[in-house]
Amino acid sequence: MEILSNLALGFSIALSPYTLMLAVLGCFIGTIVGALPGLGPSNGVAILIPITFTMGLDATAALVLLTAVYYGAMYGGRISSILLNIPGDEPALMTTLDGYPMAKNGRPGQALVISGFASFWGALFATVMLALVAPALSRVAYQFGPAEYFALYLLAFSTLGGIASNNQAKAAFASCVGLGISVIGLDNFSGLPRMTGGNLHLMDGVDFLVAIVGLFAVSEVFFFIEKHGKGGAVGVKLNKFRVPWGEIWSTRWTQLRCGVVGFIAGVLPGAGASLGSFLTYMMEKNIAGPEGKFGTGVPKGVAAPEAGNNSAAGGALVPMLTLGVPGSGTTAVLLAVLMTLNITPGPTLFTDRPEVVWGLIASLLIANFVLLAMNVPLVRIFVKVLSVPPALLLPGVTMVSFVGIYSLTGGYFDLLLMILFGIMGYVFRKMDIPTVPVILGILLGSNMEDALRRAMVLSDGEWTYLFSSPIAIGLWIFAVAGFIAPVYFRNKIRKPQAVTD
Amino acid sequence: MLKSDRIFGVVVVLGAFAYIASALQTPTSFMSDPVGPKTFPVLLGAVAGLCGLIMVLKPDEEPDWPDFGAVIALAISVVVLIGYAYALKPLGFLIPTAITAGILSYQITPRPLASALTGLGLSVGLFLLFKYVLGLGLVPFPKGWFG
Amino acid sequence: MKLFSAKAVATTAVMMVGSSAMAAECIAPANPGGGWDFTCRQVGKLLYDLGEVDQPVQITNMAGAGGGLAFAHTVAERSDDAELIVAASSATTTRLAQQAYGDATADQVRWVGAIGADPGVIVVAADSPMQNLDDMVEAIKADPGSVAFAGGSAAGGFDHMKPLMVLQSGGFSDITSVKYIGVDGGADAITQTVGGFTQAMTGDMSEIVGFLESGEVRALAVLTEERVPGFEDIPTAMEQGYDVVAVNWRGFYVPKDISDEDFAMWADKIQAVADSDEWAEVRQANGLAPFTKVGPDFQNWVDQVIADTEELSREIGVIE
């Protein structure tokens, strides 16, 4: 068994009391960074680059620390999603949809534990797949050209109609807002600015972190100000907390499916973990149908996106390691770290530097187990957040958001933009316009447009090029099915509770 | 009487027109691609406009808007946050944060002493967290203080 | 290696000027993970390790407007800061030449030195029928749509210019009919080419090293004056009769109003890094070729490059 000897090699490099300590430290920092709105995994990893240098860590130790932060942040993102309805980072966006209702029902602990296990499973599955088939899987990227990517993004948007909203026009409008914002910035094809109003700050477009923090965190603060701290999950009476083994077991198939789908989404260099959590949530929602009561706080609704995004986070390492293509911003930072350690990812990495690859895989496994061990007992502490008086908690969240966004460019412009998004989020939520599609539009819009325009450049404007491969056609079929399924269900059910309460 | 959705719908339609108009102003160079930089935004504007029209024609229930007092509280908060955005760079982290957090806290639960303590505590606590645990290079005070 | 995506999620660790008064600072005008960030971090580390500076160099990431924000910041707020260097590359001068930084012009800062260069390359998939630049140019002359290029920069950017310069030199004038798609970075451009969606990839040497070793791609030409050490089997464009040199240099600019002594001091420090064995190691590991120009020499070279880029950009219609 070659794989076992490889793994043994990996663990012999990565497992020592010292590295274990680093793993715990990394997981801890990662969890905090992930949970704080505005600071995402890429922040955490970026923060550690200088630390690695100043501490003089060797390549292995640095890898262990960094992967621990990477996975830690993926775990941590869900915490603020569930407790505060504020996604800690963008892959945790979908976790708000069922996680927050669960917290409001007095079951935040259960939501955290179920999502923690789902995260564990997703990450574990992805790591194992990474170990088993990464070199082979790297070929998948060669099958995806502009037409295939366009169909993939279309699939993501086609299921938007299924987002909990009572009014399709409003959901569609929200997507248009997001897509419209994604257009802002330097146009990739003409090299000229679009919709920037000549503002230099808008040349790179609107960072979706600014949007996510504004729409969720700042608008949440406005709600608390309006209601003087009443309503919401803060201060909710907590049910007695026991580890909900039964509920975890009941989501086993969901976790399994979402692990697989998330991993595939992650392997495709595109939107990475966010796309993973989005596709898995919508898939499970459609599978569960109207009886699944997605959006009202069901265990499957928190298990699906968390298994999906953690699996995607692992999957994103496949193209990063084997091709040097960073699937997401986070992996881009990780790639940078590898390069500063003089490790150049690419097709020959697995054969040239087995000790790096297997050391990395071993550290991912270590980090994952450390995180599970840390997360379950800590749930009792996390839920204490909800006992903090709103007059302290919400200003705290605001300040954290400001610092996080301020660290993007160190200027006031993004902060003003964030406040603007906060007002927008407040008005939208009042008017029952869902905010999730706005974020998705910003996140995926430019990718989708670029893919379409690349395809048209290559085909000289011939539209049939979009359906020219089996993969593209398959994705189109799923997209159409995903669009129709919620409409079909809608006739049979009462509307789910809106997320925008 | 007019429903909020109708008003909002009209705003959306007007906004969509403005968006399309501004998209049509996008400069193009002559090595442009078959789709061009205008198609996508114009399409989006059209769909958004259509959605606005639907909101005008089929408005939802009236949302429960805040009363006058709450609107004032919200307006104050927005102004304070904007001030904070501008103050952060020249004045350093500690002072603007204490003031802003204190005012926000007061807007949520109007107890002056608790709010003042919240402002102070958050400002110092978060500074320590960001500076020493997360390693962000925050500047505590205005430039020139303490050398 | 270059910016993976202008909109990369990454946010930055360091926010503003630190409180310690006399520490040298290097601004990387991008998020962590790109070429500029790499330049700052590696050179910053070596400056300290070699004893050229007393304290570790502080790295500030200032992403925005493809480097425009950092440029504007340097010009407007730091114009006499002698402790500041800013990472730059061909992308910086290309954008300046194309007026992509608004009103900013290259003479608003001083160009202090380059420490290495990533040679431009044009590669095809291993099974491509094209064997050399002549094949490529002939194919495009016969049918301009038959060869699509993928590169890591937006249309009109440095990667796009490389094949256009080759084609121009080969006597093909209808360069706006050449197909080019800009993707997120060189590695992405290679996967599109290996996957057969585009017929050729234009990028930097460092981006293709791993793929060359694995045998998935073949380089038609390297755009340097001499063959690159370590890659002697790749012919230059010049040997093939195309008078094109395009290297993505890595270097720095400093604020305009610093004294000539400070300027000379930075030039010396950068020279010292460039001459060190440690830098030679880092350079080789990352596929960079030696390329050292400092002080007034570099300043003159940059002026010339910008003038050339401006002319070509006007010809292909990126600027008026």
Q: In which band, very low, low, confident or very high, does the pLDDT at B79 lie, cut at 50, 70 and 90? A: very high
| Cβ atoms of residues C95 and C66 within 8 Å | yes
Pair (B53, B72) in one structural domain: no
Chain B positions touching C19 (Cβ under 8 A) are: 139-140
State the pLDDT at residue C12.
34
Q: Per the CB < 8 Å rule, is A416 touching B114? A: no
Q: Per the CB < 8 Å rule, is C192 touching A209? A: no
Q: Per the CB < 8 Å rule, is A395 touching B44? A: no
Establish if B141 belongs to a structural domain. Answer: no
Torsion of CA C5, C6, C9, C11, to 10 degrees: 130
Residue C249 β-bridge partners: C117
Nearest neighbour of B137 by CB, restricted to C16, C155, C317? C16
pLDDT tens column, A193-217: 788 877 777 877 888 778 888 898 8
Pair (B38, B92) in one structural domain: no
Establish if B35 belongs to a structural domain. Answer: yes
Q: Does A17 touch chain B (CB under 8 A)?
A: no
Chain B positions touching A183 (Cβ under 8 A) are: 23, 40-41, 44
CA-based nearest distance B57→chain C, Å: 38
Q: In which band, very low, low, confident or very high, does the pLDDT at B144 lie, cut at 50, 70 and 90? A: low
pLDDT tens column, C50-105: 888 887 788 777 776 678 888 888 888 888 888 899 999 988 898 888 887 777 88
Q: In which band, very low, low, confident or very high, does the pLDDT at A491 lie, cut at 50, 70 and 90? A: low
Nearest neighbour of B109 by CB, restricted to A390, A416, A419? A390
Q: Per the CB < 8 Å rule, is B137 touching C14? A: yes
Q: How far is CA A203 from CA A195, A346, C179, C314, in A?
A: 9, 31, 25, 22
ipTM of the complex: 0.91
Q: Does B53 touch chain C (CB under 8 A)?
A: no
Answer whether 0.95 is exceeded by the pTM: no
Mean pLDDT within A43-70: 74
Closest chain C residue to A205, measured at CA:
C7
Q: In which band, very low, low, confident or very high, does the pLDDT at A115 lie, cut at 50, 70 and 90? A: very high
CA-based nearest distance A368→chain C, Å: 23
Q: How far is CA C185 from CA A447, C161, C175, in A?
A: 14, 15, 23
Pair (B73, B122) in one structural domain: yes
Chain A positions touching B77 (Cβ under 8 A) are: 221-222, 225
Establish if B80 belongs to a structural domain. Answer: yes
Cα gap C26→B17, rounded to integer Å: 45
Determine how β-strand C200-204 pairs with β-strand C148-151.
parallel
| Cβ atoms of residues C186 and C207 within 8 Å | yes
Structure tokens at A319: 């193209």
pLDDT tens column, C236-262: 999 999 998 888 999 999 998 898 888
Determine how β-strand C25-28 pairs with β-strand C58-61.
parallel
Mean pLDDT within A250-259: 89
Report the interhelical angle of A252-267 vs A108-137 (nearest 10°). Answer: 40
Q: Per the CB < 8 Å rule, is C316 touching B139? A: no
Q: Per the CB < 8 Å rule, is A330 touching C9? A: yes
Structure tokens at B65: 């808007």
Cα gap C178→B92, rounded to integer Å: 52
Structure tokens at A29: 């920092």
Q: Per the CB < 8 Å rule, is B60 touching A431? A: yes
Calculate ∠ Cα A309-A310-A311, nearest 5°. 90
Domain with B77, as residue range(s), is: 68-133
Establish if B62 belongs to a structural domain. Answer: no
Choose between C19 and A478: higher pLDDT: A478
CA-based nearest distance B32→chain A, Å: 6
Number of structural domains (chain B) is 2
Pair (B87, B50) in one structural domain: no
Q: Does C155 touch chain A (CB under 8 A)?
A: yes
Chain C positions touching A347 (Cβ under 8 A) are: 210-211, 213-214, 216
Nearest neighbour of B82 by CB, restricted to A166, A189, A416? A416
How buried is residue A31: exposed, middle or buried, by Cβ count under 10 Å (0-12/13-18/19+)?
buried
Chain B positions touching A432 (Cβ under 8 A) are: 60, 63
- The domain C119-240 having CATH identifier 3.40.190.10: the answer here is yes
Domains C25-117+248-315 and C119-240 share a fold: yes
State the pLDDT at residue C37.
80
Nearest alpha carbon to residue A448 among A266, A205, A211, A182:
A182
| Cβ atoms of residues A94 and A310 within 8 Å | no
Structure tokens at A236: 């909710």
Question: Could you tell me the fold of the domain covering C25-117+248-315?
Answer: D-Maltodextrin-Binding Protein; domain 2 (3.40.190)
Question: In C, residues 64-83, which contact A (CB 8 Å cutoff)?
Answer: 64-66, 68-69, 72
Nearest alpha carbon to residue C246 among C236, C256, C255, C254:
C236
**Final residue of a domain: which of B57, B79, B97?**
B57
Q: Per the CB < 8 Å rule, is A403 touching B136? A: yes
Cα gap A121→A123, rounded to integer Å: 5
CA-based nearest distance B88→chain C, Å: 11
DSSP assignment of A174-190, as one string? Answer: HHHHHHHHHT-EE-TTT
C134: number of Cβ within 10 Å = 14
Structure tokens at A333: 């930072």
Considering chain A, what percentage of its residues have pLDDT values greater than 70?
87
Structure tokens at B124: 């110092």
Chain B positions touching A400 (Cβ under 8 A) are: 126
